[in-house]
Amino acid sequence: MAIDINGLTTNSANSTRGRSSESVKGSTASADTSSAQTGSESSRDSVSLSPEARVLNKLADKINESPEVDADKVSRLQSAIANGEYQPESLSIADKMLKLDDQL
């Protein structure tokens, strides 16, 4: 992924903050064509992501795609509670709470 930052001044950078990324992309594309039309060759700055950052981006995408709540599990628990079949193990819950507290 490369970002063209040539030709940006403080005023033009501030004016693009309120616009959407699509309009900013359009403005950089028009800047590219105008510099190509003048025939001036300019250097390009680029940004590349490390392999770790790419993995983190993929994980973030998977997290964003997954539902926040497991609807099937919630349904099973609701019916078990309604039927009086749900009996949590208080010692196990207390043990897990203590382990969580130790991690903090």
DSSP letters, 73-103, are HHHHHHHHHHTT-----HHHHHHHHHHHHHH
**Higher pLDDT among residues 37 and 89, named by residue:** 89
Confirm whether 5 is domain-assigned: no
**What is the domain range of residue 57?**
10-65
Confirm whether 4 is domain-assigned: no
Domain count, the chain: 2
Rounded-to-integer distance, Cα 79 and Cα 71, Å? 12
Q: Note whether 15 and 53 are same-domain residues.
A: yes
Rounded-to-integer distance, Cα 7 and Cα 14, Å? 13
The structure's pTM equals 0.33
Question: pLDDT digit string (tens) for 46-74?
Answer: 999 899 999 999 999 998 888 788 889 99
Question: pLDDT digit string (tens) for 4-45?
Answer: 666 555 444 444 444 444 444 444 444 455 444 555 566 889
Q: What is the pLDDT of residue 2?
A: 59
